[in-house]
Structure 1
Amino acid sequence: MNRLQKELEETQQIKDMYQKNLERLRNEIGNQQHIIYQSMNMKQVMSLAERFDENDLPI
């Protein structure tokens, strides 16, 4: 019984970790307005666009 309780607790910790990661990823995606990219060049473009986004002018 003790072993099962320990396994249950470990499983709960793993589940909590996955939920936190999922929430973090959802927030990141929400902040990027659903634009998915991976290259360093695109990251630089997005960073530049975000700085200009504070203005009311179109990019």
Structure 2
Amino acid sequence: MYLLQTTEELRRQLIQLVQETGSLSNDTVVELSQRLDQYILAIQNRMNEGKKQT
């Protein structure tokens, strides 16, 4: 559950930051996007592990 909550919070922050900066290439936007990517990958990995066990 922690991963999902953190991912959602990062997503909200990213949307807000893009709106504020008006840029997808802003350094802070890119860093936040990369952090979000890491959480998304962690969720996908957990989902895949669950599928392998069933």
Band the TM-score falls in, shorter-chain normalisation: 0.5 to 0.7
Q: TM-score, normalised by structure 1?
A: 0.48
Cα deviation, 1:6-58, whole Å, max 9, x if unaligned, reads: 000000011110000000000001001xxxxxxxxxxxxxxxxxxxxxxxxxx
Structure 2 unaligned blocks of 5 or more: 1-20
Moved over 4 A (4+): none
**Number of aligned residue pairs:** 30
Largest Rg, 1 or 2:
1
Tell which has more relative contact order, 1 or 2 (C-alpha 8 A, sep 6+): 2
Aligned-residue sequence identity (percent) comes to 10
Higher fraction of helix: 2
Q: TM-score, normalised by structure 2?
A: 0.52
2:14 aligned residue: none
